[in-house]
């Protein structure tokens, strides 16, 4: 919990209080609202549902009044000031840490056992840090300090595609004390043999699609994709701009040459599907993705593509780079079947709608997953460079509308064997 809060403070440290309260883009809430939701989520599940505490309305009236107005005011969020939100978040955290000192983590209460409610709050905060960075990337005309980094080691070379044999494997979270309800229960899944890209699609590969009139060729797009393309006026990935020497990108307010070997990011599911069709392939299902990422025929289910623990050198996670690493990186991160970079770098779109697994039970409430199930929502897997290693387990299912491309999302392709 302390590490998570230090990470939140680090993300927000370069931002003034006025900018925290400002609406950066219609696509993202003000940063101060993301911070307020971190604290409100923690208060709800840790202090109220676990600890039995009443809401702290009187102590933090400004924040509670803003939340009340947000629920009744439609799409426009009321103004929140940074100072009372910081006070609210600090107060909630101090009380949560005090409660942690007094609870029995071996209790039969499912919210308490193995610190589940605290883990829920931690994961929400870590994921919210990525949402803050997605919002900061949307800023125009202002730069955000990005640390310099060198390229990581290279994985051994291999084929462009990996053959994955058919058969059964365990889908879902195993031995995860803080797994979300939509990752459960782990169950046997049967798959036919398939072929999947060894690495994510790169900027150079996607540029071939763009320059080859891929956005203008209707046959590559689904009906929903064409409608989205025309509505958005999309002609290239978000943040791509034409330059005198080729494609450039805007990264946290700074325009720079497009790195050809990095995995493409900021593409919607529709764009990913169109590229896959152009390439004679398709997007993998989430079941195929998890099979390729984390199933070892002799050792069983891995938590990460490389094993059970994140040591810090196997992937581009934890904001180490503030960008994806070149395709083919990380010798220590190769999956059991031979795929690279299936954790970190970019969230990877799959073709799967967000639906419950067999035997699904909503916990701790329907708002955590159940209310978001639907055929119009797509599953992404793997995490991005901005995702914390604690969150980026292979069983984690992120869900988003297929139109979203302000997130740090890319993809790899698959095809039938």
Residue at 146 is within a domain:
no
Of 96, 122, 137, the domain-final residue = 137
Output the pLDDT for position 97: 97
Quote the CA–CA distance of 12 and 38 in Å, as a whole number.
13
- CA dist 325 and 385 (Å) reads 8
Closest CA to 256 of 192, 186, 203, 183: 203
- Better-predicted residue by pLDDT, 14 or 72: 14
With cut-offs at 50, 70 and 90, classify the pLDDT of residue 222: very high
Q: Is the pLDDT of residue 73 over 80?
A: no
Asked if 126 contacts 319 with a C-beta cutoff of 8 angstroms, the reply is no
Q: Are 360 and 184 in contact (CB under 8 A)?
A: yes
pLDDT at 67 over 90: no
Cα maximum dimension of the chain: 64
Both tokens of residue 74?
Answer: 């439609």
Residue 153: inside a domain: no
The per-residue pLDDT for 187 is: 96
Same domain membership, residue 184 and residue 98: no
- 120 shares a domain with 170: no
Same domain, 345 and 411: yes
Reported as type and span, the H/E element at residue 189 is strand 187-191
18 and 85 part of one domain: yes
Tell me which residue range forms the domain holding 37.
Answer: 2-137
Split at pLDDT 50, 70, 90, the class of 56 is confident
Tell me the pLDDT of the chain averaged across its residues: 95
Query: Looking at the 3D structure of the chain, how many domains does it have?
Result: 3
List the CATH number of the domain containing 355: 3.90.1580.10
Long-range contacts of 3-9 (CB under 8 A, 24+ apart): 4/122, 4/125, 4/126, 4/129, 4/388, 5/93, 5/125, 7/125, 7/126, 7/129, 7/388, 8/35, 8/38, 8/125, 8/128, 8/129, 8/132
The answer to whether residues 387 and 307 belong to one domain is yes
Confidence band, pLDDT 50/70/90 cuts, at residue 75:
low
Asked if residue 102 and residue 210 are part of one domain, the reply reads no
Is residue 167 situated within a structural domain? yes
Query: What whole-number percentage of the chain has pLDDT above 70?
Result: 99
Judged against a pLDDT cut of 90, whether residue 74 lies above it is answered with no
Which among 213, 236, 264 is the end of a domain? 264
State both tokens at 404. 């979203």
- Same structural domain, 22 and 121: yes
Query: Does residue 121 belong to any structural domain of this protein?
Result: yes
Sheet bearing 240-243, strands edge to edge: 240-243, 246-251, 254-257
Does any domain span residue 344?
yes
Based on the fold, state whether residues 369 and 332 are members of the same structural domain.
Answer: yes
Q: Is 313 within a domain? A: yes
Average pLDDT rounded to a whole number, residues 243-256: 94
d(CA 348, CA 345): 9
pLDDT in tens, 269-326: 999 999 999 999 999 999 999 999 999 999 999 999 999 999 999 999 999 899 999 9
Of the two residues 118 and 368, the one the predictor is more confident about is 118
Query: Are 363 and 224 within one domain?
Result: no
Residue 28 inside a domain? The answer is yes
> What is the distance between the alpha carbons of residues 304 and 342, in angstroms, rounded to a whole number?
9
Based on the fold, state whether residues 188 and 337 are members of the same structural domain.
yes
Residue 42 lies in a domain: yes
Are residues 132 and 42 part of one domain? yes
Residue 114 pLDDT grade (very low, low, confident, very high; cuts 50, 70, 90):
very high
Which CATH number does the domain housing residue 126 bear? 1.20.120.450
Threshold 0.85, pTM exceeds: yes
What angle (nearest 5°) sits at the alpha carbon of residue 323, between those of residues 24 and 208?
100
CA atoms of 105 and 115, how far apart (whole Å) = 6
**What digits encode the pLDDT tens for the residues 127-160?**
999 999 999 999 988 899 998 888 999 999 999 9
Same domain? 377 vs 244: no
> Where is 240: in which H helix or E strand?
strand 240-243
């Amino acid at each position: 919990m302390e590490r998570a809060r230090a990470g939140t403070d680090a993300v927000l440290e370069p931002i003034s209080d006025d900018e925290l309260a400002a609406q950066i883009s219609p696509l993202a809430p003000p940063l101060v609202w993301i911070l307020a939701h971190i604290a409100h989520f923690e208060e709800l599940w840790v202090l109220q549902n676990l600890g039995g505490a009443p809401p702290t309305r009187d102590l933090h009236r400004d924040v509670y009044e803003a939340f009340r107005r947000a629920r009744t005011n439609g799409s426009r969020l009321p103004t929140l000031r940074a100072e009372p939100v910081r006070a609210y978040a600090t107060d909630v955290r101090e009380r949560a840490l005090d409660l942690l000192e007094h609870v029995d983590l071996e209790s039969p209460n499912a919210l308490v056992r193995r610190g589940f409610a605290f883990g829920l709050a931690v994961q929400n905060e870590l994921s919210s840090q990525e949402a803050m960075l997605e919002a900061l990337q949307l800023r125009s005309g202002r730069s955000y300090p990005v640390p310099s980094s060198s390229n990581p080691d290279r994985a051994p070379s291999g084929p462009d595609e990996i053959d994955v044999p058919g058969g059964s494997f365990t889908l879902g979270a195993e031995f995860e004390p803080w797994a979300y309800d939509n990752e459960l229960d782990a169950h046997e899944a049967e798959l036919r043999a398939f072929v999947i890209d060894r690495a994510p699609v790169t900027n150079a590969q996607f540029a071939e699609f763009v320059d080859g009139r891929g956005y203008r060729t209707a046959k590559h797009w689904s009906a929903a994709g064409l409608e989205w393309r025309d509505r958005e006026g999309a002609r290239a990935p978000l943040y791509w701009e034409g330059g005198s020497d080729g494609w450039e990108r805007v990264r946290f307010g700074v325009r720079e040459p497009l790195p050809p070997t990095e995995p493409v990011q900021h593409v919607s599911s529709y764009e990913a599907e169109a590229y896959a069709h152009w390439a004679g392939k398709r997007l993998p299902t989430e079941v195929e993705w998890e099979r390729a990422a984390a199933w070892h025929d002799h050792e069983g289910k891995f938590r990460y593509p490389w094993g059970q623990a994140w040591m810090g050198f196997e992937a581009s996670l934890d904001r180490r780079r503030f960008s994806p690493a070149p395709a083919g990186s990380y010798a220590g991160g190769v999956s059991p079947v031979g795929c690279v970079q299936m954790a970190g770098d970019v969230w990877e779109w799959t073709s799967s709608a967000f639906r419950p697994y067999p035997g699904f039970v909503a916990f701790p409430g329907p708002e955590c997953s159940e209310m978001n199930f639907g055929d119009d929502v797509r599953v992404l897997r793997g995490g991005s460079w901005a995702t914390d290693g604690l969150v980026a387990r292979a069983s984690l299912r992120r869900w988003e509308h297929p139109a979203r491309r302000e997130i740090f999302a890319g993809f790899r392709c698959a095809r039938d064997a």
